[in-house]
Amino acid sequence: MTDQNTRLGIWLMVLTTFIFAVQDGISRHLAGEYNVFMVVMIRYWFFAAFVMAVAARKAGGLMVAAATAQPLMQGFRALLLVAEICVMIYGFTLLGLVESHAVFAVYPLLVAALSGPVLGERVGWRRWVAIGVGFVGVVIILEPGFGVFQPAAVVPFIAALMFALYGLLTRYVARRDTAATSFFWTGTVGSVAMTAVGVWFWEPMTGPDWIWMGALCITGAAGHYTLIKCYEVAEASAVQPFAYLQLPFASTIGILVFAETIRLNVAFGAALIVAAGLFTLWRQRVAR
């Protein structure tokens, strides 16, 4: 892997995090006006069409992309991701982008903590210390015992736990399936599941909001495309730290567009979480 490829991969990851932050801002707007299930359902229709179009262009087409020896695990992964998206967007409507992303930033630490029981990987004492520091950051953000703790603040933490498990299961199925197969199952099963739920919550949308919905679908496909390209040109360990840029990007949108504010405890807690996460990623790279 050349330095040039790594540099390109880093820029693609920066672009990906920016696109996903914009997507989160649009999701926050639409979920504030319409039912979360309906918003995610329409987004997944476009995502499934994109996934199938990508698969159709590859050798063997849809049949090869769909072929898997572990359909139950692939299906569970897909359901877990679509449920996580619903939970996270619901968190945006309760807490806003700033605080939701501050708590959600703990997911790489959850991945590290769960990699032992799920994947059988060894986690050294340094990474356990970093995981502990990250959870101290979460506690600082949630402020239990100060009279201002809201149960709603747990929502993005649940989303982070779900996303961490999804990431670990993605690594688990990758031992026997290609990334293209996992991508195909994620989009198609997720779309079917959301249609079964979301169709019961259909609400008429205004013309301008259909434009926003179109933008949501396009940013979703664009973000996944740039992420795929990122991992094609650079090693995951080299670009993963830059995924944390989604936190400042989303926070900026929350402040400028939705007039959110950053409380001191949120900023301090998020800084602890990010620092612990970056240390964990570095230790994983050293361990490999």
d(CA 2, CA 47): 32
More confident residue, 287 or 149: 287
Per-residue burial over 222-258, b = 16 or more CB atoms within 10 Å of its CB, e = otherwise: bbbebbebbbebbeeebbbbbbbbbbebbbbbbeeee
Q: What is the pLDDT of residue 45?
A: 95
d(CA 126, CA 131): 9
pLDDT interval class at 148 (50, 70, 90): very low
* Count of residues making up the chain: 288
The alpha carbon of 84 is separated from its chain's Cα centroid by a whole number of angstroms, namely 8
pLDDT, mean of residues 62-89: 93
Q: What is the pLDDT of residue 287?
A: 67
pTM: 0.88
Most confident of 38-42, 57-61, 138-142, 166-170: 38-42
DSSP 65-81: HH--S-HHHHHHHHHHH
